[in-house]
Amino acid sequence: TQLLEQSPQFLSIQEGENLTVYCNSSSVFSSLQWYRQEPGEGPVLLVTVVTGGEVKKLKRLTFQFGDARKDSSLHITAAQPGDTGLYLCAGGALGGGNNRKLIWGLGTSLAVNP
């Protein structure tokens, strides 16, 4: 069974601090996605990484895919209250036939206090 472990589960920090969220697995994924979910809304895709070692930046957010495509990290620089939300990682799994699914982590709930 493919699993994605996210850590930390909860994070409460002050505005301006840096933080890193980790997403780890023993399985290899075809890609890794990061989503952010705000209360009362559905998850919204932030980024997809597909190549081992790939790094993508989205303003103050930096995403990295592990060389072996088993893990990923999300680093936020100078966090702001607007970054508050639930961050979810999801690994792409291509199985035989029509089997395509995303394997989801449990999420990291981030609160950035002014």
Strands 85-94 and 100-104: antiparallel
The window from 16-24, 55-63, 67-75, 100-108 that contacts other proteins (CB under 8 A) reads 100-108
Q: Phi and psi at residue 83, in whole multiples of 5°?
A: -80, -10
Site string for other proteins, 50-69 (x = CB under 8 A): x-------------------
Asked if residues 9 and 109 have their Cβ atoms less than 8 Å apart, the reply is yes
Decide: is 92 part of the binding site for other proteins (CB under 8 A): yes
Q: Check binding of 90 to other proteins (CB under 8 A).
A: yes
Rounded distance, CA 39 to CA 106, Å?
16
Regarding 91 and contact with other proteins (CB under 8 A), the answer is yes
Phi then psi for residue 81, to 5 deg, are: -55, -30
Q: Which residues lie near other proteins (CB under 8 A)?
A: 29-33, 35, 37, 40-45, 48, 50, 86, 88, 90-92, 94, 98-102, 104, 106-107, 109
